[in-house]
Amino acid sequence: MTDTPGTRPAPVSRGRILLEFLGSMNLAITLLVAVAVASVIGTVLQQNQPYQDYLIKFGPFWFEVFGKLGLYDVYSTAWFLFILGFLVVSTSVCIYRNVPTMLHDMRSYRLGVQRKSLQAFHLKREWISEREPQALEEWLARLLKSAGYRFRSRRDDDHRVLAARRGAWSRLGYLFTHAAIVIICIGALFDGNIPLKLRVASGDLKVETRDIPASEVPAVSRLPVDNPSFRGSVRIAEGSSANVVFLQLGEGYLVQPLPFRIEVKDFRIEHYATGQPRSFESDIVIHDPQRDQPLEATISVNHPLVYRGYAIYQASFSDGGTGLTLDAWLLRGTSTEPMRIQGRVFESVEVQTPDGPMTLEFTDFRLFNINPVKGPDGRVEQKNFGPNFTFKLRDATGQAREYQNYMLPVEFDGRPYFLSGVRESPAEPFRYLHIPLTADGDIRRFQRFNALLWDDRRVEAVARRTTAAAFAGREGQAAVGEEVVQSMMRLVGHFRSDGFDGIAEQVRLTVPEDKQAEVITAYMKVLQAILGELYLHVLEDEGISPDKGLDEAEERFFDDAVNAISALKAYGSPFYLQLKDYDFVQATGLQIARAPGKNVVYLGFGLLIAGVFLMFYVPYRRLWIWIDRDGGRTRLLMAGSGSRHQQDFETEFDRLAERIEAQIGPRA
């Protein structure tokens, strides 16, 4: 139809434009792609972890960028919930616009088709028969019924039409798939806890950022017991119980009370031969006022307990407050015996040190530690280094360093060491101090050697003997010899306090640049001589005679000990903590979720599966047979169309055509 000259087309209403936009395929695909991308991000990037973990992993810049985008809690961000809501509206408009037409098409047989239209079909056959139209119609009706088609017929003055269809239910596939998208998004929106987000945004709820017991968290940071949707976690040690979970939100958390108490009776973990965890499970007891008897159950990974709509998952494990028995070996001073310290993970101990009062904060204990080790053949293997514990040493000003000490000696190149890692902040990797041990794994030789360096009387005696030997037979050199003795003692003092770096720094500040290399070389020779003689005294105290010289093992121990003492300045602790014994306590990490929208999502997935099946595996096929008279004979025209699997339909169409030819003769 063309417009009449001089007239304008009727304006399209804004409502119609909006409906066409919301129901457009391009918009729907764009929204689905956005949801898919967000879901990929939420899968790759572990969600709802402490912000400190993200800061360590990504660094300050990207931590801020990802935080602004809400990538640490993708599924609850405003933009993701907005996309889901928009997708619900768009898909609903698609259903509103298209489903009525599809339902009408399902019920319609299209008996008003014209012969000219049928002749334009790709699949068509024509025959001429001597049989009467009535007899042909009756036989064709039986043929269509036997082929699984439903049909209707219409008789006009000059022709008859048989309209048949099969697989009309496939048209419901569109309805089911689109309805599934709407239902799944509604379920996701319900579990997205929009009211919680609004309460936090309005200030009605305040995220708690302090590390305090749940009982001390104020009411403004606590959710009601009947909160309909949440997902939180809690750590419960063996023999302990809890009736709250913690919801990680932004830089802090909210406390969600439970209507029952969860007690952990036992936690079990199985390991591979390498020490890596293979499986773990918890025996729990539910204490509920609504029950006459407690409910006992065992949960494991992928086998949660669902109780009163609360799903309790086995999510992780950690230390539950292991008791530690420690020996503190002083690294600054003449003490050669340790100080015994008793502590417990997650607790603190006040200690007196040469640097003043300090606080030991025990943060973790691990029974197994799997690390890669290069074997003699050059291949890297996984080795269990045994138990270790982590602690922070905090001084009176509040400054703290974090340490990680291994209980068992670790061998490198056939020599045993105690390993102790140190770092200034969680963003840094641990730097390890290697304390050499004797062949039987004893630290006492190193401790006696280090303590001897702090014994000024012994150091002075060695310095005087060395100086006397150097100035033997020289007259009038007493004053010079005394100055040399004092210089040697200062040299040892710089080394024991600041290591080799301290000596180099002292030379840099006091010696001209062109003489520095020469002076450092001389200092190292003198220091080596003094340290060597002190080491011989240590061996003599052990009953080892150095008359025949040091063997290779003793020489290597000396080198390792000197290197370890030089690193004590960077180590930063006035003592080394050796783990002597432990009372191992485990804790289970539970994730507890209440997600009533889950059943709605399950319904949506059921509809989605049914819709996809109908759309792709139930082809919609139509047949029309036109019967009329031409010069005393009967003409027959059959045409058909199918929505999917065209090759299969053509085969079926040919088979029907062959049966018709067998009955009425060849085609026209």
Contacts for 628-631 with beta carbons within 8 Å, 24 or more apart?
628/115, 628/133, 628/158, 628/159, 628/160, 629/133, 629/158, 630/128
- Residue 463 CA to residue 456 CA, distance in Å, equals 10
User: The whole model's pTM is what?
Assistant: 0.70
**Could you tell me the pLDDT band of residue 553, with boundaries at 50, 70 and 90?**
confident
Q: Where are the beta strands (DSSP E) in 156-227?
A: 159-166
Confidence of residue 470 (pLDDT cuts 50, 70, 90): low
| pLDDT value, residue 384 | 83
Residue 445 has pLDDT above 60, yes or no: yes
Q: Rounded mean pLDDT of 643-661?
A: 88
Which carries the bigger pLDDT value, residue 209 or residue 474? 209
Percent of the chain with pLDDT over 90: 42
Q: Which of 3-7, 64-68, 184-188, 307-311 has the highest mean pLDDT?
A: 307-311
Rounded to an integer, the average pLDDT of 458-469 is: 82
The highest-confidence range among 97-101, 297-301, 489-493, 513-517, by mean pLDDT, is 297-301
- Beta-sheet pairing, 380-384 with 348-353: unpaired
Which comes out higher in pLDDT, residue 381 or 315?
315
Q: Is the pLDDT of residue 237 over 70?
A: yes
Using the CB atoms, write b or e for 415-424: b if 16+ within 10 Å.
bbbbbbbbee
> How far is residue 183's CA from residue 285's CA, in Å, rounded to a whole number?
36
What pLDDT is recorded for position 476? 47
Q: How far apart are CA 467 and CA 469, in angstroms?
A: 5
Structure tokens at 39: 């879901």
Q: Which of 72-86, 307-321, 460-474 has the lowest mean pLDDT?
A: 460-474
Q: Which of 449, 450, 465 is nearest to 544 (CA)?
A: 449
Q: How many residues would you count in the chain?
A: 668
The phi, psi pair for 368, rounded to 5°, reads -125, 140
Tell me the C-alpha distance between 664 and 667, whole Å.
Answer: 9
Q: For the chain, give the mean pLDDT.
A: 87
Backbone angles phi, psi at 181, to 5 degrees: -60, -45
Q: What are phi and psi of 48, to 5 degrees?
A: 55, 40
**Collapsed DSSP state (helix, strand, coil) of residue 663:** helix
Mean pLDDT, rounded, for 441-458 = 93
Task: Say if CB 292 and CB 269 are below 8 A apart.
Answer: no
**Terminal C-alpha separation, the chain:** 38
**pLDDT confidence tier of residue 299, bands split at 50, 70 and 90:** very high
